Chain A
Amino acid sequence: MDSLVVDGLGKCYMLGRESEGKSTRSFWQRLRSPLAGAAESTSGTRQFWALKDVSFRVEPGTILGIIGPNGAGKTTLLKILAHVITPTTGRVVGVGRVVSLLELGAGFDPDLPARDNILMNAAILGITRHEAQRRIPEILEFAEVEQFVTSPLRHYSSGMYLRLAFSVAIHMNPQILLADEILAVGDSAFQERCLQKVAELGRNGLTVLFVSHDMDAILRICNRVMWLHSGEARRLGDPEEVVDEYQNAVWSQADIGQSERGRRSNRLAEILSVRLVSAAGRDIGGAPASEDTFIKIRFRTAKPSLSVKCALDLSTKGQLIFRTSDEQARRLGEAGVYEALAKIPRDLLAELPYVATVGCIFKKDDETKEYPLVIYNALSFLVFATEQPDLPASGRLDRVGFIAPKLEWTVREEVPVARA
């Protein structure tokens, strides 16, 4: 018997005058890209289908990867399955307990210590207090937060938060686990353990729906992959095939879907993609604060002998933090595909979501005219920390501001200036 049957699932949001609240608008912004296809009317409200007629079945033990550009409906799908939002059309039939990891720290109360949070989560999932208490040591051990049982979660680093959330989820005996991009955060060692654990639980009959932008992880653990695009299931099948097809589509037509403004091609060149990659060159969804990460801009040139100068703006919470550019224009050879890498040094950014706007200025060697390309909000990513928390009292002081560079501090006794 299938553990999950999804039939003709759709979710429609009414946008416009009636719901012009603040929360709706930020939701709106997140979903900006697929709105190109949304019906627009002058009456002030419009329909927007975040998910359209999605159907699939999942057998127990399947690890289903869900991929697609931002705003494709991946989160909407998981939220419906988690019973958080109600679908507009269709039907889902499932068997067994569903545990969801929808967002970092979702369902946790930052003011309560780990213990109380575990008990509350267990209660919400219908697990008896006695049973939950029995599992607490295991949960804390897997999460590696035993020393911090009594400190409230707001003193936790984002990495610890994630470890606890994941550990709680898998120890609640789920039959279905919903994981939304959550494994993008967390140090590589823990990511590895998570993936292994998920694969192991999958072999024991756990059904997993795993949303990720990390194609390596998808290929490693998934048995099947679904590609969502603008709310519709574009492909569903063998991981290698679907991922290949998806990546080809992404590489070839520049999936920089989040942005409508800006200019991504001109007569000299075209920006293909902007990604966040690790030092090893792997696509990542989040940046560990303690490791160097890179913003990679891929572009294709149409003419030989050009030079290019790249720049980027980094902003968070709607504030521009800084603009930085390459020190010099770089010479390019034959027409072809190039990549520009900008290193974001470790210990610079804070534990926040950032948005990067990138620009490249192309120039032909024999002309003085410059041809700029700009992609607004080309990339958004989350920076997360994995280190242990400080003393509770000072813990909160550490997380203020838009960046968190490590400075060199010295403290010494003042040398009195000798007076004549």
Chain B
Amino acid sequence: MRVLRRLFGLAEPALSDGPGLDDAAQGRQRKWVIEPVRVGFVARAQELWRYRRILWFFSERRIKERYEDTTLGKFWLFARPLMPVVIGTVIFGRMLEVPSDGVPYFLFYLAGMSCWRIFERSVLWVTRSLDQNRGLIKKVYFPRLIAPISSVAPAATEFGVLFILLLVAIAYYYVHDGVFYLRVGPQLLVALGAVSMAAFLAIAVGLWTSVLQVRHKDVQYSIRYFTQLWQYVTPVIFPLSSIPERFRFIAFLNPMTSVVEMYKWALLGIGEFPGAELIAGLAITLVIFATGAVYFTRSEAASVDRL
């Protein structure tokens, strides 16, 4: 128990009152302490909550800098995420004739991709987050966790774009084929849950990779291949039903399987609700997050020295 308390920082709340933030509204003059002790995750999380307002600034900045200096600004916003879906549809749907659980392959793939994209892009950006915020991190104090968390924002934007495209595609198929593929109902909340879980898992993975990337630049080069590989063991291109029964256990080890399956089940009503996989996936996600959070907060000081 003591180990846990130490790990999660329940024991040392003193540093959470770091300089920089005081309760301006009440005009109270907070006393703060700086010590060499490592601060645990819970103390960091509390601090993060007090600083929550700057999350917005960081998120906004991340999104703006993506599209600011492009001439076609808004066009890229839609084109970038859509391009791989169109290419994938042609290759996998038309040429390889991958099955798609009875819905048009384009819809199947677009739905899978929109959910996968928020995970993949988040992992990439969160990994680079400490580097990208180097200028601020080395000069002013704010909870360092803000850097990785705010990096989910551009990925969330891309998700929003893909989701809009998905709705457009559904409308198109309704007009054209007369089939309305969207399942309207309370289970849409499950889709929201799936997307949140994808983002959460991305942060969990990113807590590890962002710190590792400061130490080993190799991470920067390999992370792309890592996420690509991960995509191939996630039912985005192919339906889970096309995997032979004896390989299904792999799905249990990959939390993204249940996320993507759950998402497609909720939106398009295809596949099955992944019950057991979801529980396994949640457990694995929580383990990655908990260890990542401890790792991140414990190596925070050393990472800043290295940046």
Chain A residues within 8 Å of B, Cβ to Cβ: 13, 19, 21, 23-24, 80-98, 100, 102-103, 106-107, 109, 111-112, 119-121, 123-129, 131, 173, 175-176
Q: Are B140 and A100 in contact (CB under 8 A)?
A: yes
B6 at the interface (CB under 8 A from A): no
Closest residue of chain A to B136 (Cβ to Cβ) is: A107
A144 CB to closest chain B CB (Å) equals 24
Given A91-B35, A94-B19; A120-B57 close (CB under 8 Å): yes
CA distance A81 to B32 in the complex (A): 11
Residue of A nearest to B21 (CB): A126
Q: Is B22 positioned at the interface, with any CB of A under 8 Å from its CB?
A: yes
A21/B136 contact (C-beta < 8 A), A85-B301, A95-B31, A124-B54 known = no
Name the distance in Å between B21's Cβ and chain A's nearest Cβ. 4
B30 within 8 A of partner (CB): yes
Which residues of chain B have C-beta atoms less than 8 A from A83's C-beta? 18-20, 34, 141
Question: Which residues of B come within 8 Å of A, CB atoms?
Answer: 18-25, 29-36, 50-51, 53-54, 57, 61, 64-65, 68, 135-142, 217, 300-301, 304-307
Cβ–Cβ < 8 Å partners of B64 in chain A = 111
Which B residues are in CB contact (< 8 Å) with A84? Answer: 137-141, 304
- Asked whether A98 lies within 8 Å of B35 as measured between CB atoms, the reply is no
**CA separation between A129 and B57, bound complex, in Å?**
11
Please name 21 pairs of A and B residues whose Cβ atoms are closer than 8 Å in the assembled complex, sorted by A.
A13-B305, A21-B306, A81-B34, A84-B304, A87-B36, A95-B31, A97-B24, A97-B30, A100-B139, A106-B139, A106-B140, A107-B139, A107-B140, A120-B54, A123-B57, A124-B20, A124-B140, A126-B20, A126-B23, A126-B24, A173-B24
- Indicate whether A124 sits within 8 Å of B19 (C-beta atoms), given known contacts A19-B306, A109-B61: no
Residues of B within 8 A of A100 (CB): 139-140
Question: What's the least CB distance linking B118 to chain A, in Å?
Answer: 25
Residues of A within 8 A of B24 (CB): 97, 126-128, 131, 173
How many A-B residue pairs lie within 8 Å, measured between CB atoms? Answer: 115
CB pair B35–A87 under 8 Å, yes or no, is yes
In chain A, what residue has the closest Cβ to B307? A23
Contacts of A102 in B (CB 8 A): 139-140
**Cβ A125 vs Cβ B21 within 8 A:** yes
> Which residues on A sit within 8 Å (CB–CB) of B138?
84
Which residues of A lie under 8 Å from residue B20 when comparing CB positions? 82-83, 97-98, 124-126
| Option from B30, B35, B135, B136 in Cβ contact (under 8 Å) with A95 | B30
Structural contact, A80 and B34, CB atoms closer than 8 A? yes
**From A172, which residue of chain B is reached at the shortest CB distance?**
B24
Q: How far is the CB of A108 from chain B (nearest CB, A)?
A: 9
Given A124-B51, A176-B19, list of 14 further CB < 8 A pairs? A13-B305, A81-B34, A82-B19, A83-B18, A85-B301, A86-B36, A92-B33, A95-B29, A95-B30, A97-B19, A102-B139, A107-B136, A107-B139, A107-B140
Contact residues in B for A98 (Cβ distance below 8 Å): 19-20
Determine if B50 and A126 form an interchain contact, defined as CB atoms under 8 angstroms apart. yes
Complex: A107 Cα to B61 Cα, angstroms: 13
Pair B141/A123 contact, Cβ less than 8 Å: no
User: A80, A84, A90, A100: which has the most chain B beta carbons within 10 Å?
Assistant: A84
Q: Which of B23, B29, B33, B57 contacts A119 (CB 8 A)?
A: B57
- State whether A93 touches B61 (Cβ < 8 A): no
Assembly CA distance A80 to B307 (angstroms): 16
How far, in angstroms, from A185 to B147 measured CA to CA in the complex? 31
Give the residues in chain A near B137, CB-CB below 8 Å: 84
**Residue on B nearest A123 in the bound complex, by CB:** B54
A175 to B54, CA, bound (A): 21
- Cβ B34 vs Cβ A92 within 8 A: yes
Determine the distance from Cα of A86 to Cα of B137 in the docked complex, in whole angstroms: 12
A93 and B306 contact, CB distance less than 8 A: no
Give A82's nearest chain B residue, CB to CB.
B141
**Which residue of A is nearest B216, CB measured?**
A21
Q: Which of A83, A103, A131 has the most CB of B within 10 A?
A: A83
Q: How far is the CA of A131 from the CA of B24 in the complex (A)?
A: 10
Is there an interface contact between B61 and A85, defined as CB atoms closer than 8 Å? no
A100 → chain B, closest Cβ, in Å?
Answer: 7
Q: Is the CB of B34 within 8 A of A111?
A: no
How distant is A161 from chain B, measured CB to nearest CB, in Å?
13
Residues of B within 8 Å of A95, CB to CB, are 29-32
The CA of A86 and the CA of B12, in the complex, are separated in Å by 15
**Contacting pair B53 A129 (CB below 8 A):** yes
A128 proximity list for chain B (CB < 8 A):
24-25
Of the listed residues B20, B35, B61, B136, the one surrounded by the most CB atoms of chain A closer than 10 A to its CB is B20
Q: From residue B58, how far is it (CB to closest CB) to chain A in Å?
A: 9
Instruction: Compute how far the CA of A358 lies from the CA of B255 in the bound complex, rounded to whole angstroms.
Output: 64
Q: Taking A124-B20, A125-B20 as contacts, is the C-beta distance between A93 and B53 under 8 angstroms?
A: no
Q: Which residues of B contact A88 (CB under 8 A)?
A: 36
B contact residues around A90 at 8 Å (CB): 35-36
Closest to B134 in A: A23
Give CA–CA (A25, B21) in the complex, Å: 33
> What A residues does B23 contact at CB under 8 A?
126
Q: Report the bound CA distance from A107 to B138 in whole Å.
A: 9
User: Quick check: B139 and A96 within 8 Å, CB to CB?
Assistant: no
B30 and A96 within 8 A (CB): yes
Which residue on chain B has the smallest CB distance to residue A19?
B306
> In the complex the two chains form, what is the Cα distance from A87 to B50 in whole Å?
23
Distance A312 CA – B20 CA, assembled complex (angstroms): 44
Q: How far is the CB of B40 from chain A (nearest CB, A)?
A: 14
- A107 vs B33: C-alpha distance when bound (angstroms): 22
Q: Are B31 and A89 in contact (CB under 8 A)?
A: no
Q: Which residue on B lies nearest to A152, using beta carbons?
A: B68
